[in-house]
């Protein structure tokens, strides 16, 4: 990252105390991640695909963030983050629309003693505290839940959110968030709320959290799907959960743990995602997705990382049940502190009545019960 000092201002003399100084800084940063990708059974005719696909380990982005020291351990902070497609130059699309700063856009205050309050478009507390100790943090969408039905790959972000993140107390930290629906006379329409906590001591970390995302309260606003007026983005990235776009609410509980021993990092996680209907939904009973996953990383050399992951997803509750077994492999090699190359792959097997595969968080709609994806790419951070 490159830091650009904007100013160092001398303020008025404060009595006999002398001069106080406010220091501001702005950081310009970004990630470019692109790959040559092969997909077996990539469409409804089960054809293969070759092409350039970006955002495998990390979503492509550029952003600006900054701080101003207000004195007494208090700082003003802000962050603006844009998402884009490196192969077309197009803006990132979130909940069906493109946004200039679709990844993040917030302003707030940070206290060294108490924590941070931020206002704007943000990640929820589960993404902040639970996702960093799962395989997705290291390997991205190839190691995540099929279709990202539990938002492990942070497909969803939240508008109009106020979030508090505590300082860290002896390894413990917590966060809470509420997003205002903003509908006159119906404050809860489209609202989102979430909370999470984490504890880390030595090589061991554990975290848990919950997020509840509401759809619009009227059929007209919902229009048979997830309303653009909802504060949280929809995460309907595959055929696995598109039938539940008209849900009244989505509630996701997640827990994860990680342990580091020598060159090995191992982790497990569990999540339960509930898609609940109401009178305006196109399905009649709650759809459940239970997800269990584990991974092991091995730091072969200071520059080379290897990873193995397994994810089991079971959907039930609204019609026939379905299961997805997914195995992921990855290798990453650092050419420098800012540039690395990687080779990642995933195999998924789907089972159940009228079930088709949709491996990882890529959205390839297949009519087959198995799918494989391999990506060879490069990532550069600045």
List pLDDT tens digits, range 231-288: 999 888 788 888 899 999 999 999 999 999 999 999 999 999 999 999 999 999 999 9
DSSP-derived secondary structure for 53-107: EE-SSS--EEEEEEEEEEETTEEEEEEEEEEB-TTT-PBPEETTEE-TT-SEEEE
pLDDT at 16: 32
Number of domain units in the chain: 1
Evaluate if residue 11 carries a pLDDT over 60: no
d(CA 12, CA 21): 9
List the structure tokens of 178.
């509420």
The residue written with tokens 């509930």 in the block is: 274
Evaluate if residue 226 carries a pLDDT over 50: yes
Residues 6 or more apart whose Cβ sits within 8 Å of residue 148: 141, 155, 235, 237, 238, 361
Mean pLDDT (whole number) for 302-323: 94
The domain in which residue 133 lies consists of 2-381
The predicted-structure confidence for 168-215, as pLDDT tens digits, reads as follows 999 999 999 999 987 887 878 899 999 999 999 999 999 999 999 999
CATH number (domain holding residue 283): 2.40.160.10
Q: Report which of residues 92 and 331 the model is more confident about.
A: 331
Mean pLDDT (whole number) for 110-134: 97
pLDDT at 187: 78
The predicted-structure confidence for 24-56, as pLDDT tens digits, reads as follows 999 999 999 999 999 999 888 889 999 999 999
Residues 346 and 372 sit within 8 Å (Cβ to Cβ)? yes
- Report residue 313's pLDDT band, with 50, 70 and 90 as the boundaries: very high
d(CA 92, CA 90): 6
CA 20 to chain centre: 40
pTM more than 0.85: yes
Q: What is the mean pLDDT of the chain?
A: 90
């Amino acid at each position: 990252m490159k830091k650009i000092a904007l100013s160092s201002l001398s303020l008025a003399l404060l009595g006999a105390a002398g001069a106080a100084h406010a220091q501001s800084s702005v950081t310009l940063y970004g990630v470019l991640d692109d790959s040559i990708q092969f997909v077996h059974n990539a469409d409804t005719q089960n054809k293969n695909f070759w092409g350039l696909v970006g955002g495998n380990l990390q979503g492509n982005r550029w952003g600006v963030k900054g701080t101003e020291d207000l004195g007494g351990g208090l700082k003003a902070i802000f962050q603006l983050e844009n998402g884009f497609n490196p192969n077309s130059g197009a803006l990132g699309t979130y909940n069906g629309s493109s946004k200039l700063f679709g990844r993040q856009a917030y302003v707030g205050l940070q206290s060294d003693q108490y924590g941070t309050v931020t206002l704007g478009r943000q990640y929820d507390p589960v993404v902040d505290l639970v996702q960093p100790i799962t395989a997705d943090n290291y390997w991205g969408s190839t190691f995540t839940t099929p279709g990202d039905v539990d938002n492990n790959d942070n497909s969803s972000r939240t508008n109009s959110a106020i979030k508090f993140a505590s300082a860290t107390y002896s390894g413990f930290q917590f966060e809470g968030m509420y997003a205002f629906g903003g509908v006159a006379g119906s404050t809860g329409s489209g609202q989102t709320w979430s909370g999470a906590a984490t504890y880390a001591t030595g090589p061991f970390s554990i975290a848990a959290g919950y997020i509840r995302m509401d759809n619009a309260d009227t059929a007209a606003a919902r229009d048979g799907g997830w309303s653009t007026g909802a504060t949280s983005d929809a995460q309907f990235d595959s055929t696995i959960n598109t039938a539940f776009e008209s849900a009244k609410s989505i509630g996701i509980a997640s827990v994860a743990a990680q342990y580091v021993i020598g060159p090995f990092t191992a982790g497990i996680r569990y999540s339960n995602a509930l898609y609940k209907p109401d009178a305006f939904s196109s399905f009649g009973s709650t759809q459940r997705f239970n997800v269990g996953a584990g991974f092991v990383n091995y730091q072969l050399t200071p520059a080379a990382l290897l990873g193995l992951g397994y994810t089991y997803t079971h959907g039930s509750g609204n019609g026939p049940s379905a299961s997805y077994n997914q195995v992921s492999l990855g290798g990453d090699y650092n050419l420098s502190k800012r540039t690395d190359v990687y080779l990642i792959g995933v195999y998924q097997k789907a089972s159940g009545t009228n079930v088709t595969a949709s491996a990882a968080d890529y959205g390839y709609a297949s009519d087959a019960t198995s799918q494989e994806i391999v990506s060879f790419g490069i990532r550069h951070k600045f």
